[in-house]
Structure 1
Amino acid sequence: MAPHNAQARLEAALPAALGRVIATPGVYAVLWCGSAARGEADAHSDLDLHALVTRNHRWRSSFVVNGVPVEVFHNPPRTIRALFAQGEAATVAMFAGGRVLVPHPDLDALVAEARALCAAGPVPRSLTPAERHLLLDEVIEARAAVKESMHPYLVANAAGRLVRALYAARGWWEVKSRHCLRDLMAREAEAAQPLHAALNASQPDGRQAALEALALCVLDSLEYGESSTEPQAVP
């Protein structure tokens, strides 16, 4: 399905989807978010809606309208603000880029807060020694399996964790995995290039070398050091 046809199909289903959402007891404001709200829908897109509720509960629901999948996140405003405070990237992005369908001052305030957070970026967070150790473990595990059929999986898994750590360290909001390479290329080509090679190299040795180059964008070295987690009480 052509992108413009997919977008038109989702927009045609929007009124019926919205009608069902606003009929839900307690719903008083609705935000349309996701790729379709940005005009970027493709054949695999669905309709994503955030509904503010008066209840003291949060829940998630899904249904289908005219063949279009719809996903709805129901939350009181304080829950959204708690997610903002936790640095929950997906929620910040949805509210920052969403389109208000059923307005309310509470929703207007949340959108404004999300846009400010999005512009500022999250607080950069360095790896703890224990986190560094776990990431290095994954790289070394892939090195040990370089001749095995599971090597591409191990590399892809480790690369994903390394990229998330890189975004946290740089103070960037995470993006969906499918957009990660493009986003990283715009931000830091030196890290995007080994990521691309790790995911696309045809030979295991080249794939592993690219993973280790990516790791060095995040870790200070590929040598183990001292680390310890915080002691936790046990029952």
Structure 2
Amino acid sequence: MSVATESVPVFAIAPAEDGQIAFPPAMEARFRPGLAAVHDEMLAREEVIALLCFGSAPRGEAKPKSDLDVLALTNGTEYWKRSRMINGVEVQLQVGPLQHWREDIEKGNPAMIDAFATGELLFDRTGEATALKRDAEERFRAGPAEPGPKFFQRQRYAITNIVLDLEDMAEDSLEARVLAGFMVLEALRFWCAAQRFWPNRKPWVMLRQLQGRDSSLGAKIESFYTSYSSVHAIAFTDAVLEGVGGRLYELSTDPEPVPS
């Protein structure tokens, strides 16, 4: 998907002449000093053409120890990162060429699509970042590509083997509890992928997605997390597998070239 910039007007949320910043409305006050410091520093750099704040902080979903994620788009060729504490908040800054982020989005990088689609631009000197954000929003609404048959077969087979291992363990053993927690997370990730949710590393986000989509599965996973019983873990996992054909005990794949 190409990104047209010719018809996009110059977009400047934060005028350079006075350094004022329009903070995301849902952002807690504790993040403002750090964001203001990064904003003023990046605004003073001629090579920085846009600044994006993303993650849980601008959405108003931050936890007490959440960090602040900021991404600067430049017209240069270098990429670098920095993390520092500002007023008790860790501020993580990524700086890189706009073309680098554009290519990431066009390749379907889920982290970048999520960042641009759900984040907030603080300034955009050329309008290119605004166009890129619109592109990311379209891709985000469409969802990731549907997993192919190979994905479903391999995941069903892998998770089935975990279930079998767990069934061989004493229900209340420490080993069973550890494996049950791992298996439920694998089943949760598999379910989210099958539903074409954008990948998310945070279990509580995936859990919220499942509870919002399927109340029956939501009740089963809640039973596990309130008991940590391997019985409930298997009940939830089997329910996920049943939605895609059930347990898979045998697997055969076509020959593929070894990656060079």
* Same-fold call, TM cutoff 0.5: yes
Distance in 2 (alpha carbons) for counterparts of 1:234 and 1:45: 38
What's the TM-score, normalizing by structure 2? 0.76
Cα deviation 1:102-160 (Å, max 9, x = unaligned): 21312101110111111111121145133432232222222223533022322222222
What's the TM-score, normalizing by structure 1? 0.83
**Residue 141 of structure 2 is aligned to residue 119 of structure 1:** yes
Moved more, 50-59 or 22-31: 22-31
Which structure is higher in RCO with an 8 Å CA cutoff and minimum separation 6?
2
Count of residue pairs the alignment pairs up: 229
Q: Percent identity?
A: 25
**Residue 153 of structure 2 is aligned to residue 153 of structure 1:** no
**For residues 81 and 210 of structure 1, do their structure 2 counterparts lie closer, same or farther at Cα, with a shift above 3 Å needed?**
same
Contact 1:124 1:171 in 2 (8 A): yes
Q: Which residue of 2 aligns with 1:233?
A: 258
Aligned with 1:71 (options 87, 92, 97): 92
What SS does the corresponding residue of 2:166 show, helix, strand or coil?
helix
Q: Which residue of 2 aligns with 1:51?
A: 72
Q: Given residue 174 of structure 1, which amino acid in structure 2 is its aligned partner?
A: P
Q: Which residue of 1 aligns with 2:242?
A: 216
Q: Which residue of 2 aligns with 1:27?
A: 48
**For residues 134 and 127 of structure 1, do their structure 2 counterparts lie closer, same or farther at Cα, with a shift above 3 Å needed?**
farther
Q: Which has the larger radius of gyration?
A: 2
Distance in 1 (alpha carbons) for counterparts of 2:99 and 2:247: 43
Q: Which residue of 1 aligns with 2:156?
A: 132
Contact 1:125 1:168 in 2 (8 A): yes
Distance in 1 (alpha carbons) for counterparts of 2:58 and 2:169: 43
Distance in 2 (alpha carbons) for counterparts of 1:211 and 1:66: 43
Contact 1:122 1:173 in 2 (8 A): yes
Aligned with 1:203 (options 205, 219, 229): 229
**For residues 63 and 108 of structure 1, do their structure 2 counterparts lie closer, same or farther at Cα, with a shift above 3 Å needed?**
same
Task: State the superposition RMSD in angstroms.
Answer: 2.6
Unaligned runs of 5+ in 1: 1-5
